[in-house]
Amino acid sequence: MLHLRKLTLRELRLPLKEPFQISSGTQTERRIFLLHLQDGDGIETWSECVAPEFPNYTSEAIDTAWLAIKQWVAPRVLGTSFPSPDVVRPVLDQNFRGHNMAKAGVEMGLWGLAATIREVSLSKLIGGTRSSIATGISIGIQKNPPALVEKARAALAAGYQKIKLKIKPGSDVDFVAAVREALPEAHMMADANNAYSSADIERLASLDRFNLIMLEQPLAWDDLLRHVELQKRMKTPICLDESITGLDRAQDMLTLGSGRIINIKPGRVGGFSASIAIHDFCRPRDVPVWCGGMLESGIGRAYNVALASLPGFVLPGDLSPSARYWDRDIITTEWTMDRQGMVTVPTTPGIGVTPDLNRIENLTTRLETLNAK
Ligand code: OSB
Ligand code: MG
């Protein structure tokens, strides 16, 4: 039985090693939202709510997620007994629309807690089959094509198996062309974070000549229909990120032909149950899925790595090691990647990382503890 007695919400700020620019803005620091879960026997674990500072990815932001967890998520889980974590999501969805990242932070924490209680790794708990995960890097928009080429070259030299180039109008075709010319064999893709509209179809279709593995979320964040027309015009597979908010949207994508690949981020779809459901739907239909990232700390990364160990995650994930993002992570043994671009899946019980409690305490800017009544 899972029985949550105490939930602690904690915000801390971690400076990014280098600014990360996507079409909707630049980040220099990550506001990190951690959750600490404790059951009646004193068993505990940590999770992370990935909502960003501003509602410029989906409609959620850290401050809305904090409110949603405190007001509506926590009261439904604190003091409630769940036989297993897969029954949590329906409870969170009853007459409670949206707020997927808020729901996911807590739902995933309960998966982490279940793994700790059962003394198995999180990967094993969900049926993971991989012992290491192929890793790709997401490279932010750079000031000019040569600067991007340099980043891409360094990433390949470090072993990354896939490079993802962020693009936006004004920083797209020339940038991708320069990287392709410099690195003809690179496994590469582009991510527009919904910076384009149907008026840009010809421009987007011109990316076909660069032999990209996929083009991620070119059109609006909640669109499925306009992507159909674009996919018909393009040879390059479209991968949806923002538009896939749950299993139903994954099904719609396939029915409509809005795209051919899905980037699964457990935060965006509301947690592990939904992520596993999308994985299970896609796998027999030969729809490749891979695990995206939200600039998580080492704690959030533990969940992504475990999820990506499922057999249908057939493409490299955005699961860069700690040193890609931070001078120092908030876990004691940081995430590393080997020269072949592989990240090892932990086999120890629970989430498989050890939070650095002193560092977390020192960095904390906001704290709130909620108890079962
Ligand atoms: O679209 O995948 C995205 C980061 C923040 C918001 C959206 C996205 C991203 C990334 C970063 O691409 C991937 C990572 O965590 O390394
Ligand atoms: Mg994306």
Answer whether 193 contacts ligand 1 (Cβ < 6 A).
yes
**Tokens 């989430």, residue located:** 351
Pair 312, 281: CB distance under 8 Å: no
Q: Whose CA is nearest to atom 1 of ligand 1?
A: 193
Helix (H, G, I), strand (E, B) or coil at 165: strand
What gap in Å lies between CA 121 and CA 127, rounded to an integer?
10
Nearest CA among 350, 364, 356 for reference residue 333:
356
- The residue whose CB lies within 8 Å of the most ligand 1 atoms, and thus the one to mutate among 32, 318, 329, is 318
In single-letter form, the type of residue at position 26 comes to T
Which atom of ligand 1 has the smallest separation from the CA of 166? 12
Ion ligand 2: residues, CB < 5 A: 191, 216, 241
pTM above 0.75, yes or no: yes
For ligand 1, atom 14: residue with the closest CA: 293
For the chain, the average pLDDT equals: 97
Ligand nearest to the CA of 101: 1
pLDDT, tens digit, 9 for 90 and up, residues 158-194: 999 999 999 999 999 999 999 999 999 999 999 999 9
Distance CA 335, CA 305 (A): 10
Separation between Cα atoms, residue 308 and residue 130, nearest integer Å: 8
* Consecutive H or E run containing 81: strand 81-82
Q: How far is CA 203 from the centre of its chain?
A: 28
| Ligand 1 atom at minimal distance to the Cα of residue 293 | 15
Q: Which two tokens stand for residue 304?
A: 């992504």
| Sequential pLDDT tens for the chain (373 residues) | 999 999 999 999 999 999 999 999 999 999 999 999 999 999 999 999 999 999 999 999 999 999 999 999 999 999 999 999 999 999 999 999 999 999 999 999 999 999 999 999 999 999 999 999 999 999 999 999 999 999 999 999 999 999 999 999 999 999 999 999 999 999 999 999 999 999 999 999 999 999 999 999 999 999 999 999 999 999 999 999 999 999 999 999 999 999 999 999 999 999 999 999 999 999 999 999 999 999 999 999 999 999 999 999 999 999 999 999 999 999 999 999 999 999 999 999 999 999 999 999 999 999 999 999 8
> 188 φ, ψ to 5°?
-140, 160
Task: Using the mean position of ligand 1's atoms as its centre, give its distance from the Cα of residue 324 in Å.
Answer: 13
Which atom of ligand 1 lies closest to the CA of 265?
A: 2
From ligand 2's centre to the CA of 288, what distance in Å? 15
Q: How would you classify the pairing of strands 162-166 and 25-39?
A: unpaired
Burial class (CB in 10 A: 0-12, 13-18, 19+), 202: exposed
Contact criterion met (CB below 8 Å) for 105 and 69: yes
Which residues are annotated as catalytic?
166, 265
* φ/ψ of residue 206, rounded to 5: -70, -15
From CA 293, how far away is CA 267, in angstroms rounded?
A: 9
Which ligand is the nearest neighbour of the Cα of 165? 1
Q: What is the pLDDT of residues 51-84, one digit of tens each?
A: 999 999 999 999 999 999 999 999 999 999 999 9
> Given 3-state DSSP classes, what are the helix, strand and coil percentages for the chain, each rounded to the nearest 5?
40, 25, 35
**CB of 121 closer than 6 angstroms to any ligand 1 atom:** no
- Residues with Cβ within 8 Å of 85's Cβ and at least 6 positions away in sequence, in order, are 2, 107, 110, 111, 113, 114, 272, 273
